[in-house]
């Protein structure tokens, strides 16, 4: 999908609904004044007048450009201001930006999705796309980890995902908890239970940098190749159009060449993780 005609001009949008996901994460549902078509994995800049702007990847279905959901962790000045918003608030959305996931390469492939914490949010847009083209792709496995049960994102949807044909979902929390009867440990503990051919599937992962490091290491040990692995690296992005130079990894700008980067392209650079 292409950028709005003026890359610096935001589209006016109204906050329609706020969903409390965890103690620190909320999903904001916006209705823009004009449709914002996007490919799963692309991002937008949310613009708060008098506060600033910050990049976020939609967590909603790309098939609904008139209703954009963005799931946000409270972690800084802009996100603190966003978390104080109530339905009816007005703001701007600039984008879509970036390239998004390689959706044209999915046909006939088994798909492994690995998320950590709020990293499941960008991946949910991809999952909606995969579920829509369910008959065109192979098996889908979703592996997700969070620090504690209360920090698990989109819990209301796990049952819906798990009953879809050919879809396996599993979650883990970092440490044992009295309210949790499932797996414990970081998300890599779930990778020993993969029922896909790791030599031919595609892998999409989003989460903190330290998670990327160990997920990639584990996948390579299990037989995956670097070119099969895509990492959603939504970090250090500011202008969103490759002008400020903050988000580079080697010769690549995450805001223009990503933010979903094929690991084979960036594995040789020291600041990958």
- What pLDDT is stored for residue 239 in this prediction? 86
Residues of the chain with pLDDT under 50: none
Q: What is the pLDDT of residue 80?
A: 96
CA distances for 223 relative to 65, 191, 192, 227, angstroms? 38, 12, 12, 12
pLDDT score for 4: 58
Which pLDDT value is given to residue 124? 98
Per the CB < 8 A criterion, the answer to whether 168 and 141 are in contact is yes
User: What's the helix, strand, coil split of the chain in %, to 5?
Assistant: 25, 30, 45
Question: What pTM was estimated for this model as a whole?
Answer: 0.95
Q: What is the pLDDT of residue 241?
A: 84
Structure tokens at 252: 């690549």
Residue 239's CB: how many other CB atoms inside 10 A? 19
CATH code assigned to 103-232: 3.40.50.80
pLDDT at residue 76, as a whole number: 87
The answer to whether the bond into 96 is cis (omega within 30° of 0) is: yes
Q: Could you tell me if 26 and 17 are in contact, meaning their C-beta atoms sit under 8 angstroms apart?
A: no
Give the integer Cα–Cα distance in Å for 198 and 23. Answer: 35
CATH 3.40.50.80: which residues of the chain?
Answer: 103-232
Separation between Cα atoms, residue 166 and residue 162, nearest integer Å: 9
Note the CATH number of domain 11-97. 2.40.30.10
Helix, strand or coil for residue 136? helix
The alpha carbons of the chain give a radius of gyration, in whole angstroms, of 18
Instruction: Compute the Cα dihedral for 93, 96, 101, 103 and give only its sign.
Output: positive
CATH 2.40.30.10 domain locations along the chain = 11-97
pLDDT of 179-203, one tens digit each?
A: 899 999 999 999 999 999 999 999 9
Average pLDDT of the chain is 94
CA distance 34 to 53: 19
pLDDT at 177: 87
pLDDT of 3: 54
- Per-residue pLDDT, 111: 98
């Amino acid at each position: 999908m292409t950028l709005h005609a003026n890359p610096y001009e935001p589209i006016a949008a109204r906050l329609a609904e706020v969903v409390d996901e965890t103690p620190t994460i909320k999903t904001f549902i916006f209705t823009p004044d004009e449709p914002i078509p996007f490919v799963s994995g692309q991002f937008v800049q949310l613009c708060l007048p008098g506060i600033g702007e910050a990049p976020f990847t939609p967590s909603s279905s790309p098939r609904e450009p008139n209703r954009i959901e963005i799931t946000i962790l409270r972690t800084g000045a802009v996100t603190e201001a966003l978390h104080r918003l109530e339905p009816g608030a007005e703001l701007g959305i600039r984008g879509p930006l970036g390239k998004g996931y390689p959706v044209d390469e999915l046909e006939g492939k088994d798909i492994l999705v690995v998320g950590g914490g709020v990293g499941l949010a960008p991946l949910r847009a991809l999952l909606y796309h995969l579920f829509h083209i369910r008959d065109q792709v192979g098996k889908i496995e979703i592996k997700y980890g969070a620090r504690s049960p209360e920090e698990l994102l989109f819990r209301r949807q796990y049952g819906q995902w798990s009953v879809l044909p050919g879809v396996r979902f599993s979650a883990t929390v970092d440490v044992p908890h009295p309210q949790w009867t499932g797996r414990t440990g970081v998300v890599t503990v779930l990778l020993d239970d993969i029922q896909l051919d790791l030599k031919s599937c595609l892998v999409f992962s989003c989460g903190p940098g330290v998670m990327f490091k160990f997920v990639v290491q584990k996948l390579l040990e299990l037989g995956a190749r670097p070119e099969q692995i895509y990492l959603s690296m939504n970090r250090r992005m500011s202008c969103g159009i490759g002008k400020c130079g903050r988000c580079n990894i080697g010769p690549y700008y995450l805001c223009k060449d990503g933010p979903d980067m094929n690991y084979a392209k960036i594995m040789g650079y020291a600041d990958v993780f």
